[in-house]
Amino acid sequence: MTGFSVDPHEGPMITNRRLEATTMPEPERTRPRRPHDHLPQFAKSLLMIYHHPEVLTLGGWSRWAYWKLLERTGGFPRLIPFSKSMIAAERGCNVSKLIHSCGLYDLAPMRLLQSVLKPGDHMLDIGANIGSYSILAAECVGAEGRVLAMEPGPTAAARWRRNQQLNNLEMMSLVQAAAVAEPGMVCMTDDDGNAGNRIGVGSVEVEGRRVDRLLDSLKLTPRIIKIDVEGYEFGVLEGCGERLDADHISYIQFEANGLSETTATPLSDSLDLLKSRGFAIYELSEQLPLVMSPFHGKQPFSLTGNLFALSPRGVAELRELGVMILGN
């Protein structure tokens, strides 16, 4: 594959396996802090490697350090293994660095996705970044399934397309637009390091589209929805309209990292909306075996900050797969 370097210090190959409402004025809003919130990105990455249940800490850290050295000496883009596929890694891409260091970097959520999705299913990846979740979903749903990704950032979208073409995953498709409640053009950042782009700030203008209209036009009914939009979850959920349907969706994964508390709409509004549509909110254990616990706090304590909105059918499906669900 011309133009790529294949990494001789490749990370672990990890394969699929079955699992044994109050709005405050924006200037006054403050983000609740967890002990690791003050840490820089590199320290959070090292902590993720340290807590990864399938990676030896020193091995993961050494691969992370080797990657930092590569970023100084060149050799990009380079190919790294990811599940059954490959990623075209770019200099400065934190997601690629984590994949190189520990494979399935969001181990518990990624294992959950691999276990729930079946051939022929549909999955919606909102805030798809370079495509790691999209690729995992595509491996599961196969040629008869569909994976729809939404990624507005020009840099991340270009990397997503490269990874899709690299692996010839034709069941994956990308809509380069932000998921919003009100269609139109929106401003956002375009972070070359993939730390996460934010809507409402920055100088890049992108299209905003409603999820419900997009799904209707493509005749898609996602079984799983993953949302990673750096604090703008409520706008995404509002834009889902009647497609936010507990009768068809098993679960919705969304990152609640505190950034919503710096916007006009706090996390509690998103949780209330999901509950009104028949979903229950859970946290997922970071270790294996997987355990789901009811979420009653203001912010998840985990490093990734993921929460899960489970439908009644989703609860039944996860229990059948061996996931322990507490409090229900």
Q: Give the model's pLDDT for residue 160.
A: 98
- Does the reported pTM lie above 0.95? no
Q: Give per-residue pLDDT as tens, 195-224.
A: 555 565 557 899 999 999 999 999 999 999
Per residue, the 3-state secondary structure of the chain, as one string, reads CCCCEECCCCCCCCCCCCCCCCCCCHHHCCCCCCCCCCCCHHHHHHHHHHHCCCCCHHHHHHHHHHHHHHHHHCCCCEEEEECCEEEEECCCCHHHHHHHHHCCCCHHHHHHHHHHCCCCCEEEEECCCCCHHHHHHHHHHCCCCEEEEECCCHHHHHHHHHHHHHHCCCCEEEECCEECCCCEEEEECCCCCCCCCCECCCCEEEEEECHHHHHHHHCCCCCEEEECCCCCHHHHHHHHHHHCCCCCCCEEEEECCCHHHHCCCCHHHHHHHHHHCCCEEEEECCCCCCEEEECCCCCCCCCCCEEEEECHHHHHHHHHCCCEECCC
Confidence class for position 274, pLDDT limits 50, 70, 90: very high
Q: Give the model's pLDDT for residue 298.
A: 67
* Residue-averaged pLDDT of the chain: 85
Q: Give the model's pLDDT for residue 189.
A: 76
Q: Would you list the domain boundaries of the chain? A: 1-12+41-105, 106-328
Indicate the CATH number for domain 106-328: 3.40.50.150
* Highest mean predicted confidence (pLDDT) among 28-37, 74-83, 107-116: 107-116
Q: Give the model's pLDDT for residue 201.
A: 54
Q: Give per-residue pLDDT as tens, 235-261.
A: 999 999 999 999 999 999 998 876 656
Q: Give the model's pLDDT for residue 15.
A: 35
